[in-house]
Chains A and B, each alone.
Chain A
Amino acid sequence: MHRLLLNKGREAQWTWLLVVLFLSIAGFWSCREKSKKMRSSAPHAETPVAEPDNIPQNSAVYRLTPEQTYRSMQSALGITLTQNTQSDPILTSFNVALGGVDYFRSRVRDSSAKVQTLLISRALAYRLASTFVSRGFGGERNQKGEDLFSKCNPNVDRPLLPEDNKLPIEQLAQIRTGARHWQDQIIEIYWRLFARPPTTEELAIIRETFQSVYLAENRSLYLAWVMTLYAILSTSEMWYT
């Protein structure tokens, strides 16, 4: 009897060992598939991978040059500031030689982020944001004939403010509709720039900043849009892929 029980115990041990082994393999396989999916859905997933800064080799992170990013941003927003594709817009505008447009050589020449890179990126972001908003407020359209602000009327629509609750119901309903359009516009801009919608948290802080700037700048929707777009265009996500 005692021996029988001992044998059963050994069988149970083997069973447990097999279960643990199976779970380990399944877990590893699942992570690998998930990682593959994440990589393929990332923006610019087709671009070659190189290591910038002090990132370990084979890490799936690298930085575009400002010239490349600047061109991509214009294309995504549907406006053209760089007419001549032969000249380097940054060199022409600021007389600062940055990374150039060649992925591989720029990785070697401009391998780490420098203040001048950031300085130029902020200047470019502001220039692009103010141009886009100015043209959008003027009702200009992109090359496909679509409105630059395709989801909202930038002259009217804005997020809801706490004080709006005191307004008559009809007026409040109008502002609420406008707030939805405003949000749709932010989501659309995110899709255009980052190939993803903003998260709930991101949307909340963007809304908060928009409201603050709107109030700080004498209820100027124009400046609120410029500063919000400038900030979105200045994020590390914009300048790193």
Chain B
Amino acid sequence: MKHNGASIFNRRQFFRSATGLSLSLPFLLHAEEPKRAFGLVNTEQYFIHFFLLGAADGFLAIDPVVGDKARSGRFDPTHTSSDFSATAVPGKDQLLLGKGFAPAAGAFSKMPTAFVRGIYIEVTAHATAQNYNYSGRSSLSATRTYPSIGQQMANVTGGFPGHICLGPNPPLVDTDKHLQPRALLSANNVDSIANLVDRPGLRFNYKTSQRIKDVSDKAIHEASQLIESLDNLRAKNLSSSYQGGLKAWNNAKIALDRLYQSDLGLSLRLTEDTLDRYGGRSGGEIAQLVAGTFLSIKSGICPILTVSFDGFDTHFNHFANHVPLQQQFATALSALVADLSATPALTGGSLADKTTILITTDFGRTPDLNGNRGTDHWDASWAVVMGAGIRDNTIIGGTDTSGKALGWSQGTLVPFAKDHSNALFPEHLIATILKKQGFPDAASLISEVQLHELLA
């Protein structure tokens, strides 16, 4: 059949093309797998999601109590005491920091940075708010989760590891679909990741920073050959359908061999020297996790990381407990940005030029103190977005003089609508980041509304 001379497929041609495509697609995808084992395929870009579990205080971080807020009398006087005065980020007139995040001033100065204030969280229960802020999708059930933003990206990019989680695990699956998180490698710390990706028979001596080989490379090679030979011998006697079933296994073996040969385990070992830059042993778990984040990015093992820090839910003696935690994080963040800036990227520039960092938390904390001099849950949350492509020196959203979330409409602050129609929600932020990182389909599933003012 001809249509005005236009060349179109007839049914037979269409069938041939479709069959060819369906046959070649799996091969193409499998061929991509080993390349993606290193996490770098077409463009060199990295994404880090830091999550401060337990609701970190935004007024001590990026929304300090100054001006009308300070005069409102709504905040505990400690917020406005001279010891808690705001710190300006060098070279960025819009960005002011509270005492908790003051040590990160240098980091915000080095990278394009935007602060997002007054993110409205309707339900201030930790589990539901965490799931919401990790994924951008709200559920009133603590057990009904959606994948975190990092896992949403990894589900698209594939490869292994496509997503590394350090610290407590974020939500990784859509619980309604019972699907296994794809391409995930998670551990409490980076050393556990290193132990996994090292080939069997390797140990690391932290005192000498040396690797110990319990078994020689030759012996490992011999064992690998034996595995391959035994698999091949067995495959000969199997039906073609069985051999087809082993295809995925054999492809994974290729990627695993590449992972072992890449010797990434050694570059993931956290030494005292590195840890010292991030706050040392006194920096606690936070210092270890952020230092591990840098090692993971530098080694090239994986381009997407979600790193979660526990302990910010301080209902007692707020300033004494909460400020040091935020300062530990800010100190480690400062070291991370310094290290990323000093490390060349594979495709030119520094790693800082290729990295986007998102910092979020459950929700906010009350402006005044409770009977235990602690703070309680507050529905105005906050976030920080840093990195290439982010509009620098920018404030999105805001809080009013009593610390409540304001509305955000067409790039300007407006009174908060009772029907929440102009509220700034986590999904707006998550969808914007997903789209910026090159995942428009995943973004459109989260929200059609995006924060264009956030992007350069």
Chain B residues with CB under 8 A of A202? 230, 233
Tell me whether B187 and A94 are in contact (CB under 8 A): yes
Using known A-B contacts A216-B219, A231-B230, determine if residue A122 contacts B256 with beta carbons closer than 8 Å. Answer: yes
Tell me whether A240 and B201 are in contact (CB under 8 A): no
Tell me whether B200 and A123 are in contact (CB under 8 A): yes
> Looking at the complex, which of A4-12, A95-103, A176-184 is the stretch in contact with chain B?
A95-103
A223 to B215: give the CA distance in the assembly, Å.
7
CB of B412 within 8 Å of the partner chain: no
Interface of B is mostly: helix
Tell me whether B196 and A227 are in contact (CB under 8 A): no
| Number of CB contacts from chain A to chain B under 8 A | 161
CB of A79 within 8 Å of the partner chain: no
Chain A min CB distance to B183 (Å): 7
**Digit string of A153-195 for contact with B (CB within 8 Å is 1, else 0)?**
0000000000000000000000000000000000000000000
- Contact check: which of B234, B239, B255 meets A115 at CB < 8 Å? B255
CB of A88 within 8 Å of the partner chain: no
Tell me whether A118 and B249 are in contact (CB under 8 A): yes
Using known A-B contacts A94-B196, A113-B249, A217-B216, determine if residue A119 contacts B256 with beta carbons closer than 8 Å. Answer: yes
Tell me whether A115 and B172 are in contact (CB under 8 A): no
A172 to B93: give the CA distance in the assembly, Å.
87
Using known A-B contacts A216-B218, A227-B220, determine if residue A53 contacts B245 with beta carbons closer than 8 Å. Answer: yes
Using known A-B contacts A53-B248, A59-B241, A97-B172, determine if residue A114 contacts B160 with beta carbons closer than 8 Å. Answer: yes
Chain B min CB distance to A211 (Å): 9
Using known A-B contacts A97-B181, A118-B253, A119-B256, determine if residue A240 contacts B222 with beta carbons closer than 8 Å. Answer: no
Tell me whether B223 and A209 are in contact (CB under 8 A): yes
Tell me whether A54 and B230 are in contact (CB under 8 A): no
CB of A234 within 8 Å of the partner chain: yes
A223 to B219: give the CA distance in the assembly, Å.
9
Tell me whether B226 and A217 are in contact (CB under 8 A): no
Tell me whether B231 and A236 are in contact (CB under 8 A): yes
Tell me whether A230 and B161 are in contact (CB under 8 A): no
A20 to B444: give the CA distance in the assembly, Å.
64
A118 to B200: give the CA distance in the assembly, Å.
12
Tell me whether B234 and A213 are in contact (CB under 8 A): no
- Contact check: which of B169, B196, B227, B247 meets A234 at CB < 8 Å? B227
The A-contacting residues of B in range 206-262, CB under 8 angstroms, are: 215-216, 218-220, 222-227, 229-231, 233-234, 239, 241-242, 244-253, 255-256, 259
**Digit string of A203-218 for contact with B (CB within 8 Å is 1, else 0)?**
0011001001100110
Using known A-B contacts A59-B245, A231-B227, determine if residue A95 contacts B215 with beta carbons closer than 8 Å. Answer: no
Chain A min CB distance to B177 (Å): 9
How many residues of chain B are within 8 Å of chain A by beta carbon?
55
CB of B1 within 8 Å of the partner chain: no
User: What interface size band does chain A fall in?
Assistant: 35 or more
Tell me whether B184 and A96 are in contact (CB under 8 A): yes
Chain A min CB distance to B166 (Å): 10
Chain B residues with CB under 8 A of A63? 245, 249
Chain B min CB distance to A64 (Å): 12
Chain B min CB distance to A208 (Å): 8
Using known A-B contacts A116-B161, A123-B200, A227-B215, determine if residue A209 contacts B226 with beta carbons closer than 8 Å. Answer: yes
A97 to B121: give the CA distance in the assembly, Å.
30
Chain B min CB distance to A108 (Å): 6
A153 to B132: give the CA distance in the assembly, Å.
60
Tell me whether B245 and A230 are in contact (CB under 8 A): no
CB of B188 within 8 Å of the partner chain: yes
The B-contacting residues of A in range 109-156, CB under 8 angstroms, are: 109-120, 122-123, 125-126
Tell me whether A118 and B233 are in contact (CB under 8 A): no
Tell me whether B222 and A216 are in contact (CB under 8 A): yes
CB of A52 within 8 Å of the partner chain: yes
Which A residue sits closest to B250, measured CB to CB?
Answer: A236
CB of A226 within 8 Å of the partner chain: yes
- Contact check: which of B172, B239, B246 meets A240 at CB < 8 Å? B246
Tell me whether A119 and B248 are in contact (CB under 8 A): no
CB of B11 within 8 Å of the partner chain: no
- Contact check: which of A109, A111, A112, A205 meets B229 at CB < 8 Å? A205
Chain B min CB distance to A94 (Å): 6
Using known A-B contacts A205-B229, A209-B223, A216-B222, determine if residue A112 contacts B248 with beta carbons closer than 8 Å. Answer: yes
Which B residue sits closest to A224, measured CB to CB?
Answer: B219
CB of B186 within 8 Å of the partner chain: yes
A230 to B227: give the CA distance in the assembly, Å.
9
**Digit string of B17-35 for contact with A (CB within 8 Å is 1, else 0)?**
0000000001000000100
Chain B residues with CB under 8 A of A61? 241-242, 245
- Contact check: which of A108, A110, A117 meets B252 at CB < 8 Å? A117
CB of B185 within 8 Å of the partner chain: yes
Q: Which has the most chain B C-beta neighbours within 10 Å: A96, A110, A125?
A: A96
Which B residue sits closest to A35, measured CB to CB?
Answer: B239
CB of B114 within 8 Å of the partner chain: no
Which B residue sits closest to A122, measured CB to CB?
Answer: B200
A96 to B241: give the CA distance in the assembly, Å.
30
Tell me whether A54 and B26 are in contact (CB under 8 A): yes
CB of A46 within 8 Å of the partner chain: no
A117 to B185: give the CA distance in the assembly, Å.
10
Chain B residues with CB under 8 A of A117? 252
CB of B10 within 8 Å of the partner chain: no
Using known A-B contacts A55-B241, A123-B200, A212-B222, determine if residue A236 contacts B246 with beta carbons closer than 8 Å. Answer: yes
CB of A85 within 8 Å of the partner chain: no
Using known A-B contacts A119-B259, A216-B219, A217-B216, determine if residue A228 contacts B245 with beta carbons closer than 8 Å. Answer: no
CB of B182 within 8 Å of the partner chain: yes
Which B residue sits closest to A58, measured CB to CB?
Answer: B241
- Contact check: which of A118, A205, A216 meets B226 at CB < 8 Å? A205
24 contacts between A and B (CB under 8 A): A53-B249, A54-B245, A55-B241, A59-B241, A94-B196, A95-B186, A95-B187, A96-B196, A113-B249, A115-B161, A115-B259, A116-B160, A118-B256, A122-B200, A123-B196, A199-B233, A202-B233, A212-B222, A213-B219, A227-B222, A228-B226, A231-B223, A234-B223, A237-B231
- CB-CB nearest 4 A-B residue pairs: A126-B200, A115-B160, A55-B245, A231-B226
With A52-B245, A213-B218 known, 20 other A-B pairs at CB within 8 A are A53-B249, A56-B241, A56-B244, A59-B245, A63-B249, A94-B196, A108-B179, A109-B180, A115-B259, A119-B256, A201-B233, A202-B233, A209-B223, A223-B215, A231-B224, A231-B230, A235-B227, A235-B234, A236-B231, A236-B249
